[in-house]
Amino acid sequence: MTIDISPLSLESPTSIEEWVHVSEAVRRYDLPIIPSTTRSDIERALRHPWPGLTELGFVVRADGEPVGQFGLAFQQDDAATAALELGVSPNHRRRGFGRQILRAVEDVAHGHGCRTLSSNALFDHPGVSVGSGGASVFARAAGYSTDGPDLNYRLHTEGTDERRLDLALERGWAKATGYRVVSWIDRTPKELVDSVAYLNGQDTDDYHETERLTQERGRTVYHTGMVHEGSDRLVSWTSLSYQSEHPWHGSQHNTIVDPPHRGRRLGLVSKVENLRFFLRHQPQVTACDTLNAADNHPIISINEELGFVPTHAFTSWSRTYY
Ligand SMILES: CC(C)(COP(=O)(O)OP(=O)(O)OC[C@H]1O[C@@H](n2cnc3c(N)ncnc32)[C@H](O)[C@@H]1OP(=O)(O)O)[C@@H](O)C(=O)NCCC(=O)NCCS
């Protein structure tokens, strides 16, 4: 059966409806524990694009019925590598649609000058099997090769183990003398914004824009950092975000400690303080997720100390075409 593709756009409410329909079918089948994709998620993302990034989405139909989707994202000043998202509705799998969609992806990608495509797929990792062999076989059969996996860790926050968090904080402060904690919601206070931008690898104007777009995209972000009292600079920063459409769920963002200040348990203290700060404001949240490279032992050991447990793994697949 032949497929046709049409772009996801605000001008076409049908494309948004079909994108959500396919995304939700894929999520419910492959990874039902993650938050759903909603119409307003997609509309906000289309209305508020990240600066410097081109993000394209396409709905794939066969016989007029939506059977799949794909998305491509690449930097406007360097399109060589593109991130690919590809899904086929569960009731249309193993009929060659994935292979056909990949050919359409390649046409679009090459038309924009993308040479390398990279994509994430669920991956069976020791202890976190989600019965996901198909995507890996598909990617390998299509000539893609894999990098190391990323692990998703989840903290079940109902009845948070306060004693465990107290112990972690006690251990943290034993080494973190000479620092103080600061917490804030959404916009970073003026006196801290240069340090946060630096820790995030951005200049201050770009960081302001990142914050503005994150808010426009419907996220409320809770931040905690540690200020080095000797220099009065923020040297550690972590954040957790919340979206009102998924009141049960928190998403961990970056945790960064400036290299000269590592080894003093600032990451541990920041994360415990931020988790408590977050849950004080959003006590109805029952689960927080964080995704880390499986070999990022420092952050994984902090997460485990707080009680996060692994739930599933992704591995990144990529192929360079020419
Ligand atoms: C991966 C995915 C896109 C495959 O879509 P599909 O339409 O079922 O794939 P195709 O029918 O075109 O399969 C092409 C080849 O992939 C392999 N394959 C696909 N699914 C497989 C499965 N469940 N088990 C084993 N091999 C599988 C086979 O080699 C197949 O060729 P064959 O049917 O001649 O044996 C689909 O399972 C999906 O949407 N998964 C969730 C999202 C995802 O992980 N995307 C992949 C990112 S790399």
Are residue 18 and residue 109 in the same domain, yes or no?
yes
Kindly state the DSSP code that residue 244 receives in the 8-state scheme.
T
pLDDT at 134: 87
Are residue 171 and residue 254 in the same domain, yes or no?
yes
Residue 212: CATH number of its domain: 3.40.630.30
137 is a domain residue: no
Are residue 110 and residue 174 in the same domain, yes or no?
no
Are residue 67 and residue 166 in the same domain, yes or no?
no
Rounded-to-integer distance, Cα 309 and Cα 94, Å: 33
Lowest model confidence (mean pLDDT) among 81-95, 133-147, 283-297: 133-147
- Number of domains making up the chain: 2
139 CA: nearest ligand 1 atom = 48
Q: Which domain holds residue 190?
A: 159-285
Please report which confidence band the pLDDT of residue 129 belongs to, taking 50, 70 and 90 as the band edges.
Answer: confident
Rounded-to-integer distance, Cα 212 and Cα 169, Å: 32
The protein residue whose alpha carbon is closest to atom 19 in ligand 1 is 138
Tell whether the torsion through CA atoms of 211, 212, 213 and 217 is positive or negative.
positive
Determine whether the shortest distance from the Cβ of 121 to ligand 1 is under 6 A. yes
- Tokens 């994108």 sit on residue: 19
pLDDT at 130: 76
Are residue 163 and residue 110 in the same domain, yes or no?
no
Tell whether the torsion through CA atoms of 221, 224, 230 and 235 is positive or negative.
negative
Proportion of the chain above pLDDT 70, given as a percent: 100
Q: What is the mean pLDDT of residues 299-310?
A: 95
**DSSP character string of 9-76:** -TT-HHHHHHHHHHHHHHHHHH-TTSPPP-HHHHHHHHHSPPTTEEEEEEEEEETTEEEEEEEEEEET
256 is a domain residue: yes
**DSSP character string of 129-168:** --S-HHHHHHHHHTT-EEEEEEEEEEEE-TT--HHHHHHH
CA 70 to ligand 1 centroid distance, Å: 14
74 is a domain residue: yes
CA 96 to ligand 1 centroid distance, Å: 8
Assess whether pLDDT exceeds 80 at residue 245. Answer: yes
CA 65 to ligand 1 centroid distance, Å: 19
> Considering only CA atoms, which of 139, 132, 66 is closest in space to residue 99?
139
Are residue 105 and residue 165 in the same domain, yes or no?
no
SS3 217: coil
pLDDT at 266: 98
Q: What is the mean pLDDT of residues 13-38?
A: 97
Determine whether the shortest distance from the Cβ of 123 to ligand 1 is under 6 A. no
pLDDT at 132: 67
Report the mean per-residue pLDDT for the chain: 95
CA 78 to ligand 1 centroid distance, Å: 30
